[in-house]
Structures are given as structure tokens and as C-alpha cells.
Amino acid sequence: MFCDDLTTPVSGKAKVRFANFSPDAPNVDLALAGSAAVFSNVAYGNFGEQTIITYDANGKAPATIPGLTWKTLGPFKEIDAFAGKNLEVKNNATQAVIPITGNGLSNLTFESGKIYTVFINGSVNGTGVSATIITHNK
């Protein structure tokens, strides 16, 4: 179970979260082309800035299996709304741009007041990495 914060962003802003589902990709950053990273050092199977919930020694809250941990979905971050811009996925260690198949992160519009999830999947060394953007509705 999870809870999303789907409250409307402030005027002029959009909300975004990011996940890396590419098993052979390095840890990656997501950024607007030519700008600082919005999310940094996101490993395979993770969301940017997610929280890991660890259970106590007695197996208390939120389950009864000692030593079990859960990862939350990453939080949404507010960014400036934009139109006609590109997002880039970069190798966190080298800052080399990782090619995305098709136009999945090109010429995008993130509208003011909207909420988005961006994720990558596929194989860096195989079929190529693709990107999907989900627009959330309340």
C-alpha cells in the first residue's frame, strides 16, 4: 500500500518523480537538458529520493517480519513548468547522457498544475533504454 501526494502544485509549477527500471543501467540522474539534476544517483529498481522503511527488532510496524524493509515510491518534486524542452538521463558517475530510444524525453511539456511520473526501462547494452511518462489525474 502507498499514498501519493497528488495535491496540485503551486502556480507555475509541475510535480515530477523518477524511477530507474533499467537493470543494466548505472546509477542515473534526471535533468532538464543543460540544467542541474532534478533527481541524482538513482539505482536500478529505485525511485529518486525514496524512503526505506526498516522494521524494528520486534517486527513492529508496519509488519511482523523482523529485519524486513520496504521501499516507498519516491516523492514528487515541484519544478518549473515548461514547454518544448528535453529531459536527459545521465550516468551519475560520468555525466554521460544515456541515449533514450524514440522521442520519449524530447520536446516535452510539463504543464503548470500537473503531476508526472517518469521512468526508464529496457537495456543499455541490449534493446536500448526507453522512457515512459505518466500524467496523474486526481
> Model-level pTM?
0.84
What CATH number was assigned to the domain covering residues 13-94+105-136?
A: 2.60.40
If pLDDT is split at 50, 70 and 90, which confidence band does 102 have?
A: confident
Tens digits of residue pLDDT in 7-61: 899 999 999 999 999 999 999 999 999 999 999 999 998 888 776 666 555 555 5
Q: What is the pLDDT of residue 1?
A: 41
Tens digits of residue pLDDT in 18-28: 999 999 999 99
Per residue, the 3-state secondary structure of 74-129, as one string, reads CCCEEEECEEEECEEEEECCCCCECCECCCCCCCEEECCCCEEEEEEEEECCCCEE
Q: What is the pLDDT of residue 134?
A: 95
Domain boundaries, the chain: 13-94+105-136
